[in-house]
């Protein structure tokens, strides 16, 4: 209650403050004050009020807290620069209605907040309750309040709880008893509880301290989330087995270890029992996942199961697909920030009947860092992953299909960056070959750890004249480029750089000098003619040499055998068929061979008889042609070589019917002067005349 002293001081104080607190438009009014009476174990003393200030950076603001009975114009005030105020116990009565407001004043004006009216009994705020006991089976908690000490009736309470795995609170309100039980709690799980209560119709207390209880263990449920981490290196394609730690709701207690069964391509099996309590070098734990350091080379499939003291999970199977096989090439759409990654794709049509799940995997470059995956139902086409994605770091995102028999098929791969930057320099840039008007360049691409962004293309420039954009698609080939349109015998400065969405990287420069222009076209006819002349001279010399060799052979080596090869024309044909150079030599030695015509002349020759008389040789008697003896002598030397080469028999050893009818050649001298060729082939004069 206000005393007589305070009654006359209040008008003076209000008048003084009014000089400083007058209405203005440039100040914003503070919020409505919120007031309560905090209580300890035995006493509820003052009223605490708080509000939201409206700071003005131009000048300091003073806040004035006003209060007074609702049925009186009298009131009290306190002022200061903070955003809260206290109404002392002696300035109000219990179970009294009060109206409270706040004024904000600067050096020019003041503004007023909205008034709040309350009964002091309804703003009492008791201290939080305390937990008295708890039980695991069933999971139940008990607590108590001090409402009876404050001479107030017990009000309602509110309970909230959560598990160690899920940090979201679950709550129950309007609980009148001092206990609460959780129905169907998860085995082997830590629960955290908090409670707050109200006394009568007053305000609820603050939340109590947390109470943590672990439920009893049971056998784990579900399956282990198994995957493989595969990478390509110089030594080949290799995979390592990895799996995620079981959730608390699945583990239902302390996981003691894992049983890994490895099935090889040759039909054998190996079982590995690794401890999760004391892992060794064979098993490595990385935050939330386990990794088996044993290589999966020549492994066809694996299975993993987890166990605790009361049982084990079902075995998770995974078939390892042979490297090099690819599935449908789907296009991935990536949206990557530093805190999350969204991956979406178009569902393949038609959808495979054996498809069970999709697997989305991401891996930072270099491989082995920032590796994670998520499995989703086959009906989904969008995946949201949370994580820490570093700036300027390449992440390879891959989409896989997991079939009903747990076989893995890669569908698509893409590269993403949370933030892109300009790429690093090209590691190597060299000249592969140089010609007069072109040069072939080769370079080493920027490694993924230094790309700092998606490489859009490479730029190759010649001095400051031309710039070529080289695509990074697979059609680019083996990182080579043929530089066209160069001038012979000239120096050039050539540079290369990589380009990302953030811009081009630094240039790497090399120098080339083109070759001299070769004037082959001017001398080409002369060279061709010269080559032909040389070839003809060589052929002629070879043929002459062969002819000389034949002439030097002794005639005794030749056997006089009549043969058609004595003719130059037949000899030419034989040489063409059997001797590599015979056709050429014959054409040189005998350019126009012809067969001579034989002329038959009827003559009357005299024949000397043994008695000294003469008689004429009649037509039915033997005769020979003029010049035949000379021709026979010319061919005699060549018959022996020809017959020996072709394996022919002597005509002297052969019997001809015509020769039997003609017996006029009895003289041995006449037989030697007559050629075998004429005897065998030439008709007699009688045969010619008979025609």
Under CATH, domain 333-416 is a member of which superfamily?
A: Immunoglobulins (2.60.40.10)
Cite the residue boundaries of each domain of the chain with CATH code 2.60.40.10. 4-123, 129-214, 226-319, 333-416, 428-513
Predicted confidence (pLDDT) at residue 478 exceeds the cutoff of 80: no
* Phi/psi of residue 67, nearest 5 degrees: -150, 160
SS3 state of residue 636: helix
Selection from 320, 494, 480 nearest residue 408 by Cα: 320
Residue 248's pLDDT is 84
Output the pTM of the full model. Answer: 0.57
Going by C-alpha positions, the residue among 582, 549, 554, 555 that lies closest to residue 568 is 582
Angle of CA points 270, 273, 276, to nearest 5°: 145
Q: Give pLDDT, residue 586.
A: 43
Residues 428-513, CATH architecture? Sandwich (2.60)
Give the homologous superfamily in CATH for domain 129-214.
Answer: Immunoglobulins (2.60.40.10)
* pLDDT attached to residue 643: 45
Are 169 and 162 in contact by the 8 Å Cβ rule? The answer is yes
d(CA 16, CA 624): 175
CATH T-level assignment (fold) for domain 4-123: Immunoglobulin-like (2.60.40)
Burial of residue 386, with CB atoms counted within 10 A of its CB: 0-12 exposed, 13-18 middle, 19 or more buried: exposed
pLDDT tens by residue, 1-27: 445 454 555 554 444 544 444 444 467
- For the chain, how big is the Rg over CA atoms in Å? 59
For the stretch 658-675, pLDDT in tens is: 444 434 334 444 444 455
* Angle between helices 568-578 and 628-646 in degrees, nearest 10: 20
Instruction: Tell me if residue 566 falls in helix, strand or coil.
Output: helix
Q: Confidence band (pLDDT; 50, 70, 90) for 249? A: confident
Whether residue 421 has pLDDT greater than 90: yes
Least confident residue range of 40-44, 192-196, 430-434: 40-44
First to last CA, the chain: 179
Classified by CATH at the fold level, domain 226-319 comes out as Immunoglobulin-like (2.60.40)
């Amino acid at each position: 209650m206000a005393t007589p002293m305070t009654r006359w001081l209040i008008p003076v104080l209000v008048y003084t403050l009014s000089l400083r607190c007058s209405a203005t438009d440039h100040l914003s009014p503070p919020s409505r004050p919120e007031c309560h009476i905090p209580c300890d174990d035995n006493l509820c003393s003052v009223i605490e009020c708080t509000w939201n200030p409206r700071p003005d950076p131009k000048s300091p603001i003073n806040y004035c807290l006003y209060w007074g009975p609702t049925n009186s114009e009298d009131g009290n005030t306190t002022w200061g620069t903070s955003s809260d105020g206290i109404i002392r116990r002696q300035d109000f009565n219990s179970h009294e209605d009060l109206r409270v407001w706040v004024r904000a004043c600067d050096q020019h004006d003041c503004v007023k907040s909205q008034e709040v009216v309350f009964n002091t009994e309804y703003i009492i705020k008791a201290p939080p309750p305390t937990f008295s006991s708890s039980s695991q089976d069933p999971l139940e908690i008990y607590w108590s309040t001090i409402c009876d000490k404050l001479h107030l009736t017990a009000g309602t309470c509110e309970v909230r709880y959560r598990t160690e795995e899920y940090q979201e609170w679950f709550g129950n309100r309007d609980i009148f008893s001092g206990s609460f039980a959780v129905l169907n709690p998860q085995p082997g799980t830590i629960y955290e509880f908090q409670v707050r209560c109200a006394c009568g119709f007053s305000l609820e207390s603050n939340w109590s301290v947390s109470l943590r209880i672990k439920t009893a263990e049971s056998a784990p449920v579900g399956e282990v989330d198994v995957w493989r981490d595969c990478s390509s290196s110089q030594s080949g394609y290799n995979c390592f087995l990895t799996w995620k730690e079981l959730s608390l709701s699945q583990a239902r207690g302390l996981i003691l270890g894992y049983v890994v069964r490895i099935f090889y391509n040759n039909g054998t099996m190996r079982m590995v029992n690794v401890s999760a309590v004391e892992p060794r070098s064979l098993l490595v734990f990385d935050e939330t996942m386990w990794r088996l350091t044993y290589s999966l080379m020549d492994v066809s499939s694996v299975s993993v199961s987890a166990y605790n003291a009361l049982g084990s999970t079902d075995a998770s199977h995974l078939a390892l697909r042979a490297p090099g096989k690819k599935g449908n090439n789907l296009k991935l759409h990536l949206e990557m920030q530093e805190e999350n990654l969204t991956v979406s794709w178009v569902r393949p049509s038609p959808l495979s009947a054996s498809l069970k799940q999709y697997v989305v995997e991401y891996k930072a470059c270099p491989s082995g860092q920032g590796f994670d995956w998520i499995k989703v139902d086959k009906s989904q086409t969008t995946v949201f992953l949370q994580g820490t994605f570093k700036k300027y770091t390449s992440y390879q995102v891959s989409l896989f299909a997991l079939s009903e028999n747990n076989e893995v098929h890669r569908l698509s791969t893409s590269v993403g960056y949370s933030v892109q930057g300009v790429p690093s320099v090209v590691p190597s840039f060299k000249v592969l070959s140089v010609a007069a008007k072109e040069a072939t360049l080769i370079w080493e691409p920027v490694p993924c750890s230094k790309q700092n962004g998606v490489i859009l293309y490479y730029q190759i420039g010649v001095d400051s004249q031309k710039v070529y954009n080289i695509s990074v698609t697979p059609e680019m080939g083996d990182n080579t480029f043929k530089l066209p349109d160069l001038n012979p015998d000239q120096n050039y400065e050539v540079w290369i750089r990589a380009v990302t969405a953030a811009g081009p990287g630094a240039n790497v420069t090399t120098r080339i000098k083109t070759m001299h222009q070769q004037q082959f076209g001017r001398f080409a006819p002369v060279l061709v003619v010269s080559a032909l002349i040389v070839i003809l001279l060589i052929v002629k010399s070879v043929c002459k040499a062969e002819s000389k060799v034949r002439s030097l052979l002794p005639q005794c080596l030749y056997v006089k055998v009549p043969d058609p090869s004595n003719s130059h024309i037949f000899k030419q044909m034989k040489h063409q068929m059997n001797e590599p150079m015979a056709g050429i030599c014959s054409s040189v030695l005998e350019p126009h061979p012809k067969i001579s015509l034989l002329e038959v002349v009827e003559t009357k020759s005299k024949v000397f008889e043994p008695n000294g008389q003469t008689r004429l040789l009649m037509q039915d008697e033997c005769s020979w042609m003029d010049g035949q003896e000379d021709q026979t002598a010319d061919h005699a030397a060549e018959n022996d070589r020809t017959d020996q080469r072709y394996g022919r028999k002597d005509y002297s050893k052969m019997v001809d019917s015509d020769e039997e009818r003609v017996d006029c050649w009895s003289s041995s001298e006449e037989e030697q002067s007559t050629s075998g060729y004429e005897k065998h082939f030439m008709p007699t004069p009688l045969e010619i005349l008979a025609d």
